């Protein structure tokens, strides 16, 4: 099962979407509009819907969770919490294991929303979350990871935890047992130059951003 969460920022989902046989589509606030525009089923609509333009949402979605506009969590975080709540995990559709969660339309014009999305990646490291847009692929790793050449030219690594030690092999700029600080940009805009490239770390969280 792949959970695809579509947020309300600039629509990159329409261009990137590819159907998976076992997918569960979640529209967050105006993300519902994007799914309906693409004539896709809305398995779950969630949020306060203050920016949605869809009328009679309840009649166009399979399940709906409405929250007040004044709340302590973002609509995106509410969506993540909802689909992984014990009650919802008993949902018939979700009896299959969740392979990954892909978040769309969360890296648009507002930098505060982008930063909030990065915070969620760090907070929910135990979940297989990926953030994608037309130009970037963002996720967290905390162990030895192998990368292969693909559509993205650049790859950057940012330490989330203190005392992060990284070694890089097969990259344009390799490293050996380097302590990457939490505000250290040394690993910005690296490139994979071998058939496979390897990141090794001391089990610390590292934010990975691959860009065109």
Which CATH homologous superfamily contains domain 2-134?
Answer: Thiamin pyrophosphokinase, catalytic domain (3.40.50.10240)
Average pLDDT taken over every residue of the chain: 91
d(CA 62, CA 41): 8
Q: Would you say residue 92 has pLDDT above 70? A: no
**pLDDT for position 83:** 85
Q: Is 47 within 8 Å of 29 (Cβ atoms)?
A: yes
pLDDT digits over 169-179, tens only? 999 999 999 99
Q: Write down the pTM of the prediction.
A: 0.91
Average pLDDT over every residue of 9-13: 91
* Domain spans, the chain: 2-134, 140-211
Q: Using CB atoms within 10 A of its CB, is residue 46 exposed (0-12), middle (13-18) or buried (19+)?
A: buried
What are residue 53's phi and psi, to 5 degrees?
-105, 5
pLDDT digits over 98-153, tens only? 889 999 999 887 888 889 999 999 999 888 999 999 999 999 999 999 999 988 99
How far lies 94's CA from each of 43, 86, 97, 127, 131, in Å?
11, 11, 7, 15, 21
Q: Is 100 within 8 Å of 83 (Cβ atoms)?
A: no
Question: What's the CATH number of domain 140-211, 2.60.120.320, 1.20.1250.20, 2.40.50.100, 3.20.20.140?
Answer: 2.60.120.320
3-state class percentages of the chain: helix first, strand second, coil last, to nearest 5: 20, 35, 45
Average pLDDT over every residue of 174-200: 97
138: its two tokens: 């963002």
d(CA 23, CA 35): 13
pLDDT digits over 41-76, tens only? 999 999 888 778 777 888 889 988 888 878 888 999
Q: What angle do CA 109, 98, 24 make, to 5 degrees?
A: 60
180: its two tokens: 């990457």
d(CA 187, CA 100): 26
d(CA 184, CA 80): 29
Q: Would you say residue 94 has pLDDT above 70? A: no
Q: How confident is the model at residue 164 (pLDDT cuts 50, 70, 90)?
A: very high
Reported as type and span, the H/E element at residue 119 is: helix 111-123
């Amino acid at each position: 099962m792949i959970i695809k969460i579509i947020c309300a920022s600039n629509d990159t989902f329409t261009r990137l979407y590819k159907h998976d046989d076992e997918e569960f589509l979640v529209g967050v606030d105006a993300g519902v509009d994007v799914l309906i525009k693409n004539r896709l089923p809305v398995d779950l609509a969630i949020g306060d819907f203050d920016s949605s333009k869809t009328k009679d949402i309840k009649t166009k979605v399979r399940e709906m969770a409405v929250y007040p506009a004044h709340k302590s969590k973002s609509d995106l975080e509410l969506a993540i919490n909802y689909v992984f709540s014990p009650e919802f995990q008993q949902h018939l559709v979700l009896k299959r294991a969740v392979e990954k969660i892909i978040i769309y339309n969360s890296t648009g014009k507002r930098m505060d929303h982008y930063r909030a999305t990065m915070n969620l990646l760090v907070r929910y490291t135990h979940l297989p979350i990926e953030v994608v847009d037309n130009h970037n692929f963002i996720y967290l790793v905390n162990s030895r990871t192998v990368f292969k050449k693909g559509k993205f030219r650049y790859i950057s690594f940012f330490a989330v935890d203190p005392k992060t030690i990284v070694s890089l092999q097969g990259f344009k700029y390799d490293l050996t047992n380097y302590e990457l600080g939490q505000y250290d940009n040394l690993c910005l805009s690296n490139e994979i130059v071998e058939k496979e490239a390897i990141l090794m770390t001391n089990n610390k969280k590292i934010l990975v951003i691959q860009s065109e």
